[in-house]
Chains A and B, each alone.
Chain A
Amino acid sequence: MTSWIYRMSARIGALFQKSRLDRELKEELAAHIDLATEENIRRGMDPAAARRQALREFGSRDSAMELHRQTRGLPVLENFIQDVRHAISVLTRRPLLLATTTLSIAIGVGLNVAVYSVLQRVLFDAEIAVGEPEGVVNIGPGFSYPNYEDLRDSGAVANLAARQTSSLTWRNGDATSTASARVVSANFFDVIGVRPLYGEAFGSQNMAGGIDMAGRVVVAYEFWQQRLGGSRATIGQTLSLNGWPYVVVGVLSKGFYSMVGPMVTADVYVPISERVATALNDCRAAQFDLIGRQSNAMTREQTLAALRVAAQRLESQFPEANRGLGRNLTVSPVGAMTMLVSPQVRRAVLTAAAALYLLAGLVLLTACMNVAGMLAARAIERGSEISIRMALGATRGRIIQQLLAESLVIAALGCAAGAALWIAGATAIPNMAVLADAGMHVAPGPLPFLYCLALTILVTVCCGLAPAVTANHIQPGVGLKPRQAGFQIRRWTLGRSLVAGQVAVCFVLLTGASVLLVSLLRQQVTDPGFDVAHTISIQMRLPTAAQGPQALPRSFTGLGSMVETLPGVESVTCVRFPPLAFLPVSARVHHADSNRDGAFTADLYPVGPQYFETMGIPLDRGRDFNDEDLRLASANETAGVINRTFAERYFRETDPIGRRLVIEEREIGQDRVVRIVGVARDSKLRSLNEDRHPVFYVPEASRSLIVRVSGGTGVAARTLERMFADREPGAVVTVSPMESQLALALRPARMGAAVLLALGGIGVVLAMIGLQGIIAYTVARRTFEIGIRVALGATRTAIMRMVFSDTFLVLGVGSFAGSLLSFALVGALRPLLAADQRLTNPLPLLGVLTLLLIAGLAVSLRPARRAAKVDPMTALRKE
């Protein structure tokens, strides 16, 4: 074995000393011949004959050297290195080709890697770097704090931790911002088996320095680096979170993060306490996710069974609060989509992920087709060279290997450039204003090196296949004969299929973009059904520790009456979620005089008093909510308002006012009876392009305010902002006019259209480069034919028409395939479109077709001109 290793290393070493070894061998062989010659002379031959004799006895020097090289080195590797070197020198002689192909691949790969690493974060890396992940399980669906304590103490799992996603106010100097947080039980880090980089996790109850458990915080590495200065001295410092002092006891290592939402990682980890969580004594508040470490040698099924037993005990003790606790309990391994617990969310995210991947894949495919087309054209160009080499004994395999080396060089360069693009993007993305506005702290994953490597191989094969197939058709020796006149040109070649494929892909992308643009235009003129010009939405996050007499009131009633006194304010109400924020809550509802079987689904929208007056939504009948309704909101029977669609659909001719409905609330496990007091006109609730659907408004107090002002919203918003900042600087209050809320609602469609347009644009540029290449190439090949045509009397126009007809043929085939494909894509865009938007609208298709035709004509103009200028005499003589 050791001698084998020695021999291999000697052989590999020989590869790197090729020139020295060759020089030495040459010298040695020369010495051999000289020695032999001298001996022959001594034997009495004349010098010339002596040398001839010596050479004859030696045999072929070339084959001796070749044999020597093969013995000392690794022929396969050497061939490969030689091919790559050759490919590099060939490609550097065509810098334009190299640059174009590398750029195409770089764009495709960069996009692909970006999508991959983002999706990896969102879908699979919910919680990474868990120590010994086999033993750690997620336990769903959600538990109240008392239930968590009981399950923890039941011993069903060895150690059980609770966690919750939250957002805390963080007062840093004079500025207040939010910090995304994991509110966790003190044993959280023990359960997941993670030790902090510096300091310790929450540690034991009686920690040195006497810091009480509720006042300790562990910070994430990124947060520590970017927001706290990244110094060791951070340990022991105090952060003001939610108005409470928290002492930093630990800094987590770089590799650990915990996702609190798509692409959002937790900044800080704080122990569960009243300072950061509410309703800790409420058995019904199922607000914590559990994560447990199984006892050794327990399977997930056994853990599930043990937990169910414990849960059923809780059910029988408190049947009111815990109905279905055991039945709904799930146990799943950590890592896979932890936070995407709801199936709807999971489906939506997966669909979006698939669509993104498809798009990135399509762009990469276009890039590959482009490169393949260019390389295939080059293979034909070099046809005579290749056929001569075949005639001299090169095998087809060897030739194809060489062509693949070229595509490997391009793929490797392109992938490296693509990875560089992504790294540049990854450093830029977290600082993007759009994301900062949306309150997202994005932490893209590290460069997925293996993935890049796999892409390189994939791209090499994709790009190299077409040239290899082309080269495979070349017959040995053909290149030696005088070139045949170019009459055998096939009308449809591999190169053309590739360009047509690219046209098809950008056709799809552009159609998608134009469909979204049409939808955007429609949404912009859509009437949301409420007054946008005079309303302001106020979101607030108040510290749990209110300080001083000037602190903001904690209840809606207090906040409302405070805001109402300001000049210019006409009325104030509150909502659980601002409208058009894509946050629906639907509920099953049935008439009080029928049973559950007649239940139907409606959106449940909790609002405050004077909601309809404040929002400027006219009431068809009945009245608005008032303060009395809010006061009775938790009573057995509350007031409710339905929208017009609800009334038309479920009350038909009868008057709904005074009728009673039952809302089945599974969360609480108790039904709620609502008496209808009003019918409001329809307004948009989830998004601007939603369909008309039944909505049910119920009274509820919350701190998300909507204010109606008499004048312009801009000035009023600033006044309000200043007032809140003066009253309580430790609070995070966002005041935004409803117009900006509207812009926010358009953001998904706008971003989708922008992405598709950008991709489509890139695709068009790539396809046009390919198209021009193929047309120019065809013209060059047909010079002879064109010469004959001109000699026979064809006009310049006729010749140009001939070239353009080629362009149209490729574009036509591509567009036809593209239009078929785009029907599939547009279906996927459904969720972003207005319900009544026709998907088969021919206008976008026609627009895209026109654009492609104009671009195609533009790029084939030069080759066409060149064709028209062909001088018959020169052309015929050349052949």
Chain B
Amino acid sequence: MDKKLDLLQGTLDLMVLQTLAAMGPQHGYGVARRIEQISGDKIILNQGTIYAALVRLQQRRLIKAEWGTSDNNRRARYYSLTARGRKQLEERATNWQRIASVMDRIFDQPAAEEPNK
């Protein structure tokens, strides 16, 4: 089923997983903000959509959630990777990199000259 996810959705999920792996437990706002920052604000994320991704990842047991307190004493829900999520991230990251490098090579080919008519 995982393979059938459409690219954009799959991409967001992967970004969330990687963000959590890099930053450790994080609340929804933190994840959304981090993705925006890393992308140099190139991804225009409707921050609200992050929560659907978070619930989806929870259902797949890739991340887990706990209520915690933020630095300035605000109650918030903290998400963290599960062991399963870490494994999944590795697999998918490798896969992603392979696809990306193949795509790079394909686009690196010199354009053929226009054949004469």
Contact = CB atoms under 8 A, between A and B. Distances in A.
A63 B47 CA distance: 11
Interface stretch (B15-23, B52-60, B94-102, B109-117): B52-60
B29 A68 contact: no
A29 B30 CA distance: 12
A692 interface: no
Contacts of A59: 46-49
Contacts of B72: 38
B11 interface: no
A35 B72 CA distance: 9
5 contacts: A4-B1, A32-B47, A58-B46, A68-B51, A71-B56
B70 A61 contact: no
A36 B46 CA distance: 13
A27 B55 CA distance: 15
Interface SS of chain A: helix
B28 to A, nearest CB: 5
A31 B79 CA distance: 14
B4 interface: no
Given A59-B47, A64-B46, A67-B52, 15 more contacts: A3-B61, A24-B77, A28-B28, A31-B27, A32-B29, A36-B29, A36-B47, A39-B33, A60-B48, A63-B48, A64-B48, A64-B49, A64-B51, A67-B49, A72-B59
Nearest to B46: A59
B40 to A, nearest CB: 16
B70 A35 contact: yes
A283 B9 CA distance: 86
Contacts of B61: 3, 6
Contact of A27 (B33, B70, B75): B75
Contacts of A11: 59
Interface in A26-64: 27-29, 31-32, 34-36, 38-39, 57-61, 63-64
A64 B32 CA distance: 14
B86 to A, nearest CB: 16
A10 interface: yes
B55 A72 contact: yes
Contacts of A855: none
Contacts of B60: 3, 7
Q: How big is chain B's contact interface, by range? A: 20 to 34
A25 interface: yes
Interface string B30-45: 1011000000000000
Nearest to B36: A57
Contacts of A35: 27, 29-30, 70, 74, 76
A71 B74 CA distance: 27
Contacts of B51: 25, 28-29, 64, 67-68
Nearest to A59: B46
A68 B52 contact: yes
A32 B29 CA distance: 5
Q: How big is chain A's contact interface, by range? A: 20 to 34
Contacts of A29: 48, 51
Contact of A32 (B1, B28, B59): B28
Contacts of A71: 52, 55-56, 59
Interface in A130-159: none
Interface in A426-440: none
A28 B47 contact: no
Interface in B58-98: 58-61, 70, 72, 74-77
Report the 3 A-B pairs with minimum CB-CB distance, sorted nearest first.
A64-B48, A59-B46, A35-B29
A337 B85 CA distance: 64
B47 A57 contact: yes
Contacts of B29: 31-32, 35-36
B74 A31 contact: yes
Nearest to B53: A71
A34 B74 contact: yes
A67 B76 contact: no
Given A58-B47, A58-B48, A68 B76 contact: no
Contacts of A28: 28, 51, 76-77
A11 B70 CA distance: 29
A61 B46 CA distance: 10
A75 to B, nearest CB: 13
Contacts of B1: 4
B56 A31 contact: no
A461 to B, nearest CB: 34
A31 B77 contact: yes
Interface in A762-784: none
B106 to A, nearest CB: 33
Contacts of B75: 27, 31
A39 B60 CA distance: 32
A331 B28 CA distance: 76
A68 B77 contact: no
Contacts of A6: 59, 61
A70 B74 CA distance: 28
Contacts of A36: 29, 33, 47
A10 B64 CA distance: 13
Contacts of B58: 10
A38 B27 CA distance: 15
B1 to A, nearest CB: 7
A57 B58 CA distance: 24
Contacts of B49: 59, 64, 67
A720 to B, nearest CB: 85
Nearest to B2: A3
Contacts of B32: 32
Nearest to A27: B75
Nearest to A38: B72
